[in-house]
């Protein structure tokens, strides 16, 4: 019964541990070959750190397994994914460029673990176990930004998303804004904030994401309170691209967005 409940991620961790021990390598010895600390190797094998493509690509290189572990990760990412979201997640993983807009929250690809937990906990219907699984899935999705050839991510968010500070969330928001600033300094990530003084704009109708493949085609994704919807019909994609241009044009450039985030953080951080 226990083996029937084993997830693909569990299988990957078990095989990583088995191949390491069969090769006669301690966690420290394997870590040196893969350029990781022994503590990181232990955390991955125990499931205390999410699996990511960079780690598994190095495992494939050390063990000479071709692309086996990276391919297994693709299967793990689909474990438990609702059918309606699989088309978008596949497009997101293959995208060369991603454009994310959210009027009220930090986009999922840029969320910290603490911020994601606070957001998921606001849904009183979720158990702690369900929240843990959702967080693990979200952090696993973020690994695409650490690939050898990561997508170019451009994120636009409304300034209101930065002002969720309250006594219970000050530390969470401080960590999240610090993370956003660090992400904005990465060569493959651009973050733009629509300042509050802009007032009403088309983006307030709701969040959306666009992904462009190597072939140049675009796929969109719309999220709502119940489920999301992948958008690939030409007319609908064109509408989203037009909406993207509208929100991007009223947003601040990256350097001004970073300064705005620092100003928002200042009263809440030591």
pLDDT tens, per residue, the chain with 270 residues:
344 456 778 888 999 999 999 999 999 999 999 999 999 999 889 887 777 888 999 999 999 999 899 888 877 766 655 554 666 778 888 899 999 999 999 999 999 999 999 999 999 998 998 898 889 888 888 989 988 889 999 999 999 999 988 878 899 999 999 999 999 999 999 999 999 999 999 999 999 999 998 888 999 999 877 677 888 889 999 999 999 999 999 999 999 999 999 999 998 877
The answer to whether the CB of 250 falls within 8 A of the CB of 103 is no
Pick the closest to residue 161 from 204, 126, 117, 122 (CA basis). Answer: 204
What pLDDT does 230 receive?
85
**Residue 154, φ and ψ in degrees, nearest 5:** -115, 120
Residues of the chain with CATH 3.30.870: 83-268
Give the whole-angstrom CA distance, residue 102 versus residue 79. 26
CATH of domain 3-77: 1.10.260.40
Find out if CATH 3.40.50 is the number for domain 83-268: no
DSSP 253: P
What's the chain's Rg over C-alpha atoms?
A: 20
Give the whole-angstrom CA distance, residue 250 versus residue 266. 24
What pLDDT does 93 receive?
84
Residues of the chain with CATH 1.10.260.40: 3-77
Give alpha helix (H) positions in the chain: 8-22, 27-34, 38-45, 53-63, 68-78, 83-94, 113-121, 128-141, 170-184, 234-250, 254-265
**Residue 23, φ and ψ in degrees, nearest 5:** -85, 0
Residue 37 structure tokens: 């600390």
Give the whole-angstrom CA distance, residue 197 versus residue 257. 14
């Amino acid at each position: 019964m226990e083996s029937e409940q084993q997830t693909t991620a569990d299988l990957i961790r078990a095989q990583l541990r088995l191949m390491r021990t069969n090769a006669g390598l301690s966690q420290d010895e394997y870590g040196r070959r893969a350029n990781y600390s022994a503590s990181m190797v232990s955390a991955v094998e125990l499931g205390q750190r999410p699996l990511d493509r960079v780690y598994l690509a190095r495992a494939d290189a050390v063990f000479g397994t071709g692309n086996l572990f990276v391919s297994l990760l693709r299967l793990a990412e689909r474990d438990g994914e609702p059918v309606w979201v699989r088309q978008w997640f596949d497009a997101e993983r293959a995208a060369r460029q991603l454009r994310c807009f959210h009027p009220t929250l930090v986009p999922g690809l840029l969320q910290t673990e603490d911020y994601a937990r606070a957001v998921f906990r606001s849904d009183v219907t979720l158990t702690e176990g369900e929240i843990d699984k959702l967080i693990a899935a979200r952090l696993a999705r973020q690994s695409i930004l650490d690939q050898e050839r990561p997508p170019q991510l451009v994120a636009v968010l409304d300034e209101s998303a930065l002002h969720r500070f309250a006594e219970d969330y000050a530390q969470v928001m401080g960590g999240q804004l610090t993370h956003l600033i660090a992400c904005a300094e990465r060569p493959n990530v651009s973050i733009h904030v629509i300042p509050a003084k802009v007032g009403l704009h088309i983006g307030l109708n709701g969040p959306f994401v666009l992904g462009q493949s190597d072939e140049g085609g675009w796929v969109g994704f719309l999220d709502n309170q119940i489920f999301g919807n992948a958008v690939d019909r030409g007319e609908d994609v064109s509408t989203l691209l037009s909406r993207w241009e509208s929100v991007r044009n009223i947003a601040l450039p990256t350097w001004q967005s970073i300064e705005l985030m620092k100003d928002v953080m200042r009263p809440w951080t030591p």
